[in-house]
Structure 1
Amino acid sequence: MLTAAPPRHLDILMCPPTHFAVEYAINPWMNTAVPVDVARAEQQWEELRATYQRLGHDVRVVEPVPGLPDMVFAANAGVVYDGRVLVSRFTHAERQGESAAYAAWFEAAGYREVRTATVRNEGEGDVLTVGRVMLAAAGTRTTREAHAELAAFFGVPVIGLELVDPRFYHLDTALMVLDEQTVAYYPGAFSAASRAAIEQLFPGAIHATEEDACGFGLNAMSDGVHVVMSDRAPRLAERLQERGYEPIGVDMSELVKAGGSAKCCTLELRA
């Protein structure tokens, strides 16, 4: 059950979907034949930002760069922890230009150390921080070697997990951190060993159904009380309410066409 602890304050970085499009297909959700309504995507993004601000969180905005349609998915920019930044090294050529754009923002913002990963590492897409531990996935995007680099750079334990379902190509599509004691996840996205590790680390972890996972319900942001999540995961929202959390559904249907929802659009800047 949720404790009476107050919500955790979040410092967030987002990037408007000004140049958003599905011009290529680099994950199972992308289909270049399906049109994208950019105006609607911008409305959905603005509502997500407004939701964070209504909850009292701080939102910073990075300027989008033409030719980088997936830059809206700020979670993939890197990992920010203790005032240091490990900028992502993207797998696909179509996204590799995002690294320099985000690195420039972090440097201009005054972060004391900004380094680009030396091996494939797609930031908070595959690296989720729980207190002073990082959960890091190995799959089609981030390599196992990246886990060692994360541990060395940040000086924290990194627990490796394995994704086995190509639909859940990033960790943040298959698992969300609710607070330091609790996660919700879709077991079918993980290897048997990783499922066992999650259950050992987080007794009482909430299990999402395949339907809710495919509705991007796990691609969500939690401050320990409020859970900002896709409005297409009703059963998961019910489970969260049963456990004492307050789910807040947002429509991210246009962004989902590129394989991302609320969490993908949100990078936490951990001081």
Structure 2
Amino acid sequence: MCPPEHFEVSYSINPWMEPDKPTDAPLALVQWDRLRARLVSLGHRVDVVPPRPGLPDMVFAANAATVIDGRVLAARYRHPQRSGEEPAYQAWFAEHGYPVRQAGFVNEGEGDMLPTGARILAGTGFRTDHRAHAEAADHFGLPVVTLHLVDPYFYHLDTALAVLDHEEIMYYPGAFSPDSQALLRELYPDAILADEADAAVFGLNAISDGEHVLLPQSAVHLTESLRAAGFTPIAVDLSELLKAGGAAKCCALELRESLPSTERRREPS
């Protein structure tokens, strides 16, 4: 994670960003720190990457890379406003002993690459180049499933879909092309489906450890669905960061040492 010490909305690279609207960097930092503290309280280790001036979106650490089995496929951003984040995060990985491969095509990390137990779900349509999907498959040795995003308000896969546990997901069908909707129904017939209202408050931009799911407090229907499925939803407020088009998942990049091989057992409540 990276604290939003330099957070602001000074440019617009997605429909959520309106530079004319005021932002509150101290409030963003308070909300971010509450998220970090909650993850720590749940037993997770949180490594903090130092923020750099002039990179207001560096807080969205999930976009920096994809990490599986301790190997890093580093991001290559589509928009030049974010390109300065690339060397910042790559330097951190190198300093901490992670082998890093630089992306050959536009690839916005876990924004569009969501590993599950058996595969990588990969988004394209607005940010990540579809050719980056084959690159990820080659680097990690996992099958990659391409999903086409069609709504600019859901410009990254992690705004429209969340991996909850080994081969369990939730998603908003309206964010995807008809073919991708059909593919998701085939692969995940028991997935939790979000309605437009919960998707619009970034309810799918959630962090799950297979038991607890941290998601925006305003995603009330998803919260009910998660609880019914045996998960423990935890409400978080990241309303200030939403002004830049990000929420809980955007703020955290998972440093996977390995992918899960078995599904955790939960009893529905």
TM-score between both structures, scaled by the size of structure 2: 0.94
Question: In the alignment, residue 6 of structure 2 is paired with which amino acid?
Answer: H
Q: Is the 8 A contact 1:99 1:116 kept in 2?
A: no
- 2:204 equivalent to 1:190: no
Describe how 1:78-117 pairs up with structure 2 within 5 A. 78-111=65-98, 113-117=99-103
Matched-pair identity in %:
58
Describe how 1:156-195 pairs up with structure 2 within 5 A. 156-195=142-181
1-structure distance, mates of 2:185, 2:232: 23
Q: Any idea what SS the aligned residue of 1:254 has? A: helix
Q: CA RMSD in A?
A: 0.7
Question: In the alignment, residue 118 of structure 1 is paired with which amino acid?
Answer: G
Instruction: Quote how far apart the aligned CAs of 1:222 are.
Output: 0.6
Question: In the alignment, residue 13 of structure 2 is paired with which amino acid?
Answer: I
1-structure distance, mates of 2:97, 2:116: 25
Where does residue 24 of structure 1 map in the other structure?
11
Q: Is the 8 A contact 1:225 1:246 kept in 2?
A: yes
Question: In the alignment, residue 153 of structure 1 is paired with which amino acid?
Answer: H
Where does residue 115 of structure 2 map in the other structure?
129
2-structure distance, mates of 1:57, 1:139: 33
Give CA deviations for 1:199-246 in whole Å, capped at 9, x if unaligned: 111121111010100000000011111001111211110111111111
Which consecutive aligned stretches of 4+ in structure 1 deviate over 4 angstroms post-superposition? none
Where does residue 260 of structure 2 map in the other structure?
none
Q: Is the 8 A contact 1:30 1:259 kept in 2?
A: yes
1-structure distance, mates of 2:150, 2:59: 26
1-structure distance, mates of 2:230, 2:67: 29
Uncovered stretches (5+) of structure 2, i.e. residues with no partner: 258-269
Q: Is the 8 A contact 1:227 1:248 kept in 2?
A: yes
Question: Which structure would you say has the larger RCO, counting Cα contacts within 8 Å and 6 or more residues apart?
Answer: 1
Q: Any idea what SS the aligned residue of 2:67 has? A: strand
Give CA deviations for 1:95-141 in whole Å, capped at 9, x if unaligned: 00101000000000011x20210100000000000013100011110
- 2:36 equivalent to 1:44: no
Describe how 1:1-271 pairs up with structure 2 within 5 A. 14-111=1-98, 113-271=99-257
Segment of structure 1 superposing worse, 60-69 or 176-185:
176-185
TM-score between both structures, scaled by the size of structure 1: 0.94
Instruction: Quote how far apart the aligned CAs of 1:145 are.
Output: 0.2
Q: Is the 8 A contact 2:118 2:167 kept in 1?
A: no
Q: How many residues align?
A: 257
1-structure distance, mates of 2:97, 2:167: 32
Instruction: Quote how far apart the aligned CAs of 1:64 are.
Output: 0.3
Q: Any idea what SS the aligned residue of 1:86 has? A: strand
